[in-house]
A and B are shown apart, each in its own frame.
Chain A
Amino acid sequence: MSAASLSAPDELGRRLLDRLRPGSDSRMTAGLTVVLVAVSLGASALLLMLTGASPSASLSAIWTGSLANTTGWTTTLLNVAPLLLVAVGACICSSAGTFNIGQEGQVLVGGLAGAWVGLRLAMPGPMLIVVVLIAAAVGGGAWAALSALMLRFRGVNVPVSTLLMTFLAIQLVTFAVSTPWGLQESTQGSSGIADAQSNPLPVNAQLAGFGQYPSLQLNTGLFIALVAAVGVALVLSRSRWGFRVRMVGLNPLTAKHAGVRVGALGGFTLALSGAFAGLAGGLLLASPVSTNRLQAGLSDNVGWDGLLVALVARNRPLVAIPVAFVFAVLRAGGDFLSATGVPSYLVDIVKALLVLAFVAPPVLVDLFRGRRGAMPSTAPAVSVVPTETKAAA
């Protein structure tokens, strides 16, 4: 259909993303963010009290679990790496106007691919971990590429297809780890019982720490994630390819006119974001944050949380670094908190409230001011009543 080729390829995703761009009116947005964060923290405290826990004790538990000592720091920093990788991937495809929300599944498929290579490929030496991580990235990328193909050939919405593919991924991994000829662990001794998980990765397929610090472990995964964040930020802002990506994200028609293959580039960024999520899955598998075994619970919401990191960072990879750190604190501290008897879902609720507090303000500012685009932020000269010019399109 010629009409379809004229409009943006993925309207739904674009409309969602439009709402999440760095805001137009920063002062009002910032003020509202502060207010909403306060409100969400207050609501969290109230919730804790309602369940009979003490807010201050909970806060100190989160602190103890995440930042109070080197053990806490180790856990927190181990959590930063996969979150940041997922978020950086999300930044890439969002910059191109493609809204991938299926990172959770892409993380799992990445883990599956990494585990399969790590367990089946008997390679000596440290090359194996490199191959495992590459396989994980390729796996996650291929999983996301399926959604890109669905868009290209059947016009399926990317947010919808990536979301639904997540549930398929969970089934796929569950199947793999509960099938003896798949990746299920070898039976233990004479009992003959095997759990729904894989064997642990061989030691040379596990990520080593770097540097020697008393009782603090810094994992190579963190280093990979930080390099990825800085690298992607540079590529998006400084490279020719990044220029095209931003053009496609901001105005696909102008980009097409300027000679960009809009559909192909959008699909490629989607696959790339899947690859970053897959790599995050590989990290989860290969770093001490997990048991180094593939399980259906391997991803443990890292995909969702990473997506939230990108949302809060408004798709800026460098901003994603501190945001990922905050989320990692909540993850590490939340685990510790639930060990003290507070239901762990409360931590999820707190997290969700915080995300809302960060994501909602620009949307609300727009609502206060009438619909977005009703007033050009700085240039009234365009037309005082832009509906006129819009309708002219």
Chain B
Amino acid sequence: MTPTTSAVPILELRGITKSYGTVTACDAVDLRVDAGEIHGLLGENGAGKSSLMKVLLGLVRRDTGTVLVRGESVALDSPQEAAELGIGMVHQHFSLINGLTVWENVALGDTGKVNKQAICSDIAEVCARYGLPIDPEAQVGSLSAGERQRVEVVKCLRRDPQILILDEPTSVLTQAESQELFGVLGRVVQEEGRAVILISHKLAEIAQATDRVTVLRKGRVAFRAATAETTPQLLAQQMVGRDVSLGEEGAALGLLPVQKARTGQAGDRDRQQPVLRLAGLTVEQGGVRVLEDVDLTVGAGEIVALYGVEGNGQATLGEILAGLLPPTAGTVEVAGSTVDVTRPGALAKAGLGIVPEDRHHSGVVLDMSVAENLTMKSLDKVSGRFLLRRGVMRAEARRLADEFNIVTSSLDAPVRSLSGGNQQRVVLARELSGDTRVLVAAQPTHGLDVGAIEDMYSRLRKAAAEGVGVLLISTEFEEVMALATWIAVISSGRITGVLPVSEATSERLGMLVGGEAA
């Protein structure tokens, strides 16, 4: 797979700059993509990858810079124009409508009369050409995440794009499904001379699938090279902007191989008193079993990971444990006693803390101050019967902010003004304060930069060392391997297996994730 360097690149960006208010998302970015190559676009969250692609899709207008398609300068004022130029994108989060069938979803955005036969035969043709079997009559809502991704790809390919952009396409796919996707992409570029831009923050994926790679850092191009001539370490260093060791940070970046967590306590599991026991948790939503009979125990001082591909019931489990959603059936036991999860605050009182998957959603109140956010779960401590005690509140907040290295201009500043990593620390500090016996961390490193990820890892380890039982809900293979002593795998709302980390391999976990016994 050597990149063919033709005289005129199929796509060239010169000096693209895009600012939102005072923030420059893209700063004079140059990018050159040739026909017949898969071009990796690598960068941390907030590095400007998505903004750049939005410019390319005509979703936002660039401030300055030139876009050349096959050597000709184009305006790109609207998504329609981008589509006519043959630029298509498969978004990170599906833009499919669950209530419609596959062919209806594929037809969305077409103009003129809808001709079901023509569309279905189009789909069949695309499916056959790329080996992506899909039933055009199936309801999208009933498809698995991998099948939906396939629909997105088919929908995009049917429009016959010359330049195909995929934004973090594997975040919801199993390893087998990812392989299949990359196989298709390889065929698309090699046999048909199209170009693919693959956006990712996973180094392993970039190294495996791309021909050339461009690394963005803080809105600027930090590095570009042919993938074959670079190493994951070098890419990681360019992406983060400093040296990266292969241990902790490597896991954070999706580098292989990983150091496995110590397995010391894994053996004597049965003798411990579990601090968290989920028994037969079942949730039915609209006739669909989102969670089915989930049993899981976490002992004091151990980190148990719940591993699986996004969208297999983890979010629902997180909502139950945050006290936001009562389960249809089953019980939650914290430190030996059953908790009535329908009572607000009951889980917190029992000693369960949770770092929710989306901190803005249910973790913090963005417009309240850091001090208020740090103490909102322990109002008894910082108030009398009626009035708040501001002094006590500040002292308590100061203590937590110091302990957890929360960087803020003032304790009275709104949490909104903090960086993502510091917001996450606010949540973690609050949830670990008081008499916490169990900590549930749902995707705790999503959207954090590498420094913040390292910090989160060491804090989770420290919590476990102090005797807190930690349940880590994660979709990152490297993360669970680096942190957990036990790994439970969830697939379609069911636990398909629990194994100690010493017995876990990517193959075994992969099979469990796919719903097969291993």
B360 partner, pick from A239, A246, A387, A389, beta carbons under 8 A:
A389
Q: Which of B145-153, B205-213, B332-340, B364-372 contacts A (4 or more CB under 8 A)?
A: B364-372
Contact between A239 and B20 (Cβ–Cβ < 8 Å)? no
CB of A364, distance to nearest CB on chain B (Å): 16
Q: Do A385 and B365 contact each other (CB < 8 Å), given the known contacts A2-B326, A238-B387, A253-B324?
A: no
Chain A 228-250 interface 0/1 with B at a Cβ cutoff of 8 Å (1 = within) = 00000000001111011011001
Interface residue? A381 (CB, 8 A): yes
Contact between A384 and B325 (Cβ–Cβ < 8 Å)? no
Q: Do A250 and B51 contact each other (CB < 8 Å), given the known contacts A243-B379, A379-B419?
A: no
Nearest neighbor of B50 in chain A, beta-carbon distance: A385
Interface residue? B96 (CB, 8 A): no
Nearest neighbor of B364 in chain A, beta-carbon distance: A254
CB of B225, distance to nearest CB on chain A (Å): 24
Contact between A239 and B388 (Cβ–Cβ < 8 Å)? yes
Contact between B23 and A258 (Cβ–Cβ < 8 Å)? no
Interface residue? B420 (CB, 8 A): yes
Interface residue? B349 (CB, 8 A): yes
Of residues B346, B358, B365, B447, which shows the largest number of chain A Cβ atoms within 10 Å of its Cβ? B365
Interface residue? A262 (CB, 8 A): yes
Which chain B positions have C-beta within 8 A of A376?
A: 416
Nearest neighbor of B383 in chain A, beta-carbon distance: A240
The B interface is mostly helix, strand or loop, or mixed, namely loop
Interface residue? B250 (CB, 8 A): no
How far, in whole Å, are A259 and B346 apart by their CA atoms in the complex?
A: 7
Contact between A257 and B420 (Cβ–Cβ < 8 Å)? no
Contact between A382 and B20 (Cβ–Cβ < 8 Å)? no
A254 partner, pick from B45, B362, B385, B390, beta carbons under 8 A:
B362
Nearest neighbor of B94 in chain A, beta-carbon distance: A391
Contact between B23 and A382 (Cβ–Cβ < 8 Å)? no
6 new A-B contacts, CB < 8 A, other than A254-B365, A380-B22, are A2-B328, A240-B379, A250-B365, A257-B363, A391-B92, A392-B93
- State the A residues within 8 Å of B (CB): 2-3, 5-6, 21, 238-241, 243-244, 246-247, 250-251, 253-262, 369-370, 374-385, 387-389, 391-393
Nearest neighbor of A265 in chain B, beta-carbon distance: B344
A-B pairs with beta carbons under 8 Å apart, 17 shown? A5-B324, A240-B386, A243-B379, A244-B379, A246-B368, A254-B376, A257-B377, A258-B345, A258-B348, A259-B377, A261-B344, A370-B20, A375-B21, A378-B417, A381-B46, A382-B423, A391-B93
A260 partner, pick from B50, B345, B385, beta carbons under 8 A:
B345
Interface residue? B69 (CB, 8 A): no
Contact between B386 and A3 (Cβ–Cβ < 8 Å)? no
Q: Do A260 and B45 contact each other (CB < 8 Å), given the known contacts A240-B388, A392-B93?
A: no
How far, in whole Å, are A382 and B452 apart by their CA atoms in the complex?
A: 12
Contact between A247 and B376 (Cβ–Cβ < 8 Å)? yes
Which chain B positions have C-beta within 8 A of A387?
A: 50
Q: Do A379 and B418 contact each other (CB < 8 Å), given the known contacts A3-B285, A388-B50?
A: yes
CB of B239, distance to nearest CB on chain A (Å): 15
CB of A24, distance to nearest CB on chain B (Å): 9
CB of A267, distance to nearest CB on chain B (Å): 14
Contact between A262 and B46 (Cβ–Cβ < 8 Å)? no
Contact between B362 and A238 (Cβ–Cβ < 8 Å)? no
Of residues A3, A247, A262, which shows the largest number of chain B Cβ atoms within 10 Å of its Cβ? A247
Which chain B positions have C-beta within 8 A of A247?
A: 365, 368, 376
Which chain B positions have C-beta within 8 A of A3?
A: 285-286
Nearest neighbor of B283 in chain A, beta-carbon distance: A2
Of residues B45, B54, B364, which shows the largest number of chain A Cβ atoms within 10 Å of its Cβ? B45
How far, in whole Å, are A393 and B358 apart by their CA atoms in the complex?
A: 6
How far, in whole Å, are A6 and B325 apart by their CA atoms in the complex?
A: 7
How far, in whole Å, are A391 and B447 apart by their CA atoms in the complex?
A: 13
Which chain B positions have C-beta within 8 A of A388?
A: 45, 50, 92
How far, in whole Å, are A259 and B418 apart by their CA atoms in the complex?
A: 24
Q: Do A250 and B361 contact each other (CB < 8 Å), given the known contacts A6-B325, A378-B417?
A: no
Interface residue? B25 (CB, 8 A): yes
Contact between B345 and A379 (Cβ–Cβ < 8 Å)? no
B376 partner, pick from A253, A258, A389, beta carbons under 8 A:
A258
A253 partner, pick from B349, B361, B379, B383, beta carbons under 8 A:
B361
Nearest neighbor of A21 in chain B, beta-carbon distance: B367
Contact between A380 and B283 (Cβ–Cβ < 8 Å)? no
Contact between B324 and A239 (Cβ–Cβ < 8 Å)? no
Contact between B348 and A259 (Cβ–Cβ < 8 Å)? yes
Q: Which 9 A-B pairs have the closest CB atoms?
A: A259-B345, A381-B419, A253-B362, A380-B23, A391-B93, A251-B365, A240-B383, A384-B25, A385-B50
Q: Do A377 and B416 contact each other (CB < 8 Å), given the known contacts A384-B20, A393-B358?
A: yes
How far, in whole Å, are A240 and B387 apart by their CA atoms in the complex?
A: 5
CB of A263, distance to nearest CB on chain B (Å): 10
A241 partner, pick from B367, B372, B386, beta carbons under 8 A:
B386
CB of B309, distance to nearest CB on chain A (Å): 15
A392 partner, pick from B20, B326, B446, beta carbons under 8 A:
B446
How far, in whole Å, are A247 and B377 apart by their CA atoms in the complex?
A: 11
Of residues A262, A379, A380, which shows the largest number of chain B Cβ atoms within 10 Å of its Cβ? A379
Nearest neighbor of A253 in chain B, beta-carbon distance: B362
Interface residue? B274 (CB, 8 A): no
- Of residues 169 to 187 in B, which have CB atoms within 8 Å of A's CB atoms? none
Contact between A243 and B388 (Cβ–Cβ < 8 Å)? yes
CB of A373, distance to nearest CB on chain B (Å): 10
Contact between A6 and B319 (Cβ–Cβ < 8 Å)? yes
Contact between A259 and B285 (Cβ–Cβ < 8 Å)? no
Which chain A positions have C-beta within 8 A of B92?
A: 388, 391
Of residues A240, A244, A250, A377, which shows the largest number of chain B Cβ atoms within 10 Å of its Cβ? A240
Which chain B positions have C-beta within 8 A of A21?
A: 367
Nearest neighbor of A376 in chain B, beta-carbon distance: B416
